[in-house]
């Protein structure tokens, strides 16, 4: 039986760029999954775009929006605090409630440096990690439901060959220098999307994020690469694995 998955991402578009192939492959095989997006409130344009992207990727339910403000865009959640400035204990409590209700076997988020140092990504990692551990403790947040033990956490990372390709074709030297280059030996799981239909679905989900494609020079450059280079990059998703119980659980 396929594990039940919970994806925790900082922004709309991250779910498609970093884990879209994993989501599409998992749901196409009949697996269940949910997505939590930490920034951009319901009613904003980018929230509407992530709802559409989640539908394309096959998620059975709309993303859960925590509704905090993106780091540099107050309009992403009018009147709400910036994601990185809100009280962590309040956010952990909120996340624990979702984990105990959804009861995932594995949680997927960023690695400790947020893949490339983005503070919203780093904070999402901290929040997801703390909540995954707290959700299993019976004497914490008793009113939020029965404790639930997540078996494994999978953290998005990037392999060295991907960074080299991005350096050559997408980013300038200053931007790509923030991306970590992990050797293949240090990657615990590499998901290869070898189905053209699933890769098409991932690309369509990325294209659903019109606002970010219009704004981001790097994202626009990525999606404008020659087809063979672009699809090679998008067809590979890499993870570190951390088991919270002996044996953990496979991702797919």
Q: What is the pLDDT of residue 63?
A: 98
28 touches 188 (CB < 8 A): no
**Mean pLDDT of all residues in 1-16:** 97
% of the chain with per-residue pLDDT over 90? 86
Residue 114 near residue 124 (C-beta atoms within 8 A)? yes
Q: Which residue has the higher pLDDT, 20 or 164?
A: 20
Query: Are residues 68 and 86 in contact, defined by beta-carbon separation less than 8 angstroms?
Result: yes
What is the predicted pLDDT for the residue at 25?
A: 98
For residue 173, what pLDDT is reported?
57
C-alpha gyration radius of the chain: 17
Of 138, 156, 154, whose CA–CA distance to 146 is shortest? 138
Determine the pLDDT at residue 178: 66
pTM: 0.96
Give the residue carrying structure tokens 């799981």. Answer: 189
d(CA 38, CA 80): 12
Which of 87-91, 157-161, 174-178, 213-217 ranks highest by mean pLDDT?
A: 87-91
Q: How many H-runs (helices) and E-runs (strands) does the chain carry? A: 11, 7
Q: Are 235 and 6 in contact (CB under 8 A)?
A: no
Over 80: is that where the pLDDT of 135 sits?
yes
Q: Which two tokens stand for residue 3?
A: 């594990």
| H/E segment holding residue 128 | helix 119-134
- In this prediction, residue 24 carries a pLDDT of 98
pLDDT at residue 171 greater than cutoff 70: no
Chain centre distance of CA 250 = 17
The pLDDT assigned to 175 comes to 57
Task: Quickly state the pLDDT bin for 157 (edges 50, 70, 90).
Answer: very high
Residue 234 has pLDDT above 90, yes or no: yes
Torsion of Cα atoms, 92 then 243 then 160 then 53, to 10°:
-50
Are the C-beta atoms of 190 and 159 separated by less than 8 Å? yes
Nearest to 176 by CA among 192, 160, 189: 160
With 0-12 / 13-18 / 19 or more C-beta atoms within 10 angstroms meaning exposed / middle / buried, residue 236 is middle
Mean pLDDT within 141-156: 97
Quick check: helix, strand or coil at residue 237? strand
Give residue-wise pLDDT tens across range 205-217.
999 999 999 998 8
Model confidence over 64-120: pLDDT tens digits? 999 999 988 999 999 999 999 999 999 999 999 999 999 999 999 999 999 988 999
Q: What are the structural domains, with CATH classification, of the chain?
A: 5-243 (3.40.50.10320)
Residue 166: pLDDT band (50, 70, 90) is confident
Angle at which helices 119-134 and 88-102 pack, to 10 degrees? Answer: 60
Q: What are phi and psi of 154, to 5 degrees?
A: -110, 125
């Amino acid at each position: 039986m396929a594990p039940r998955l919970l994806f925790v991402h900082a922004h709309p578009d991250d779910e498609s760029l970093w884990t879209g192939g994993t989501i599409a492959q998992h749901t196409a095989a009949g697996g269940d999954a949910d997505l939590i997006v930490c920034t951009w409130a319901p009613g904003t344009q980018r929230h509407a775009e992530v709802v559409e992207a989640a539908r394309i990727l096959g998620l059975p339910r709309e993303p859960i929006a925590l509704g905090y403000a993106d780091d540099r865009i107050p309009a992403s959640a009018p009147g709400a605090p910036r994601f990185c400035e809100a009280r962590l204990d309040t956010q952990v409590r909120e996340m624990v409630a979702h984990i105990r209700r959804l009861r995932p076997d594995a949680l997927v988020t960023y690695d400790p440096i947020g893949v490339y140092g983005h503070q919203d990504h780093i904070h999402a990692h901290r929040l997801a990690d703390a909540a995954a551990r707290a959700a299993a403790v019976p004497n914490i947040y008793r009113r939020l439901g029965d404790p639930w033990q997540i078996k494994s956490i999978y953290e998005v990372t990037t392999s060295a060959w991907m960074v080299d390709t991005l350096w050559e074709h997408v980013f300038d030297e200053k931007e790509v220098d923030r991306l970590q280059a992990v050797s293949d030996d240090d990657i615990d799981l590499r998901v290869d999307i070898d189905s053209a239909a699933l890769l098409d679905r991932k690309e369509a989900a990325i294209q659903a994020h019109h606002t970010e494609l219009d704004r981001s020079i790097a994202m626009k450059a990525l999606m404008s690469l020659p087809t063979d280079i672009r699809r090679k990059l998008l067809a590979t998703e890499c993870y570190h694995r951390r088991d919270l119980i002996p044996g953990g659980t496979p991702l797919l």
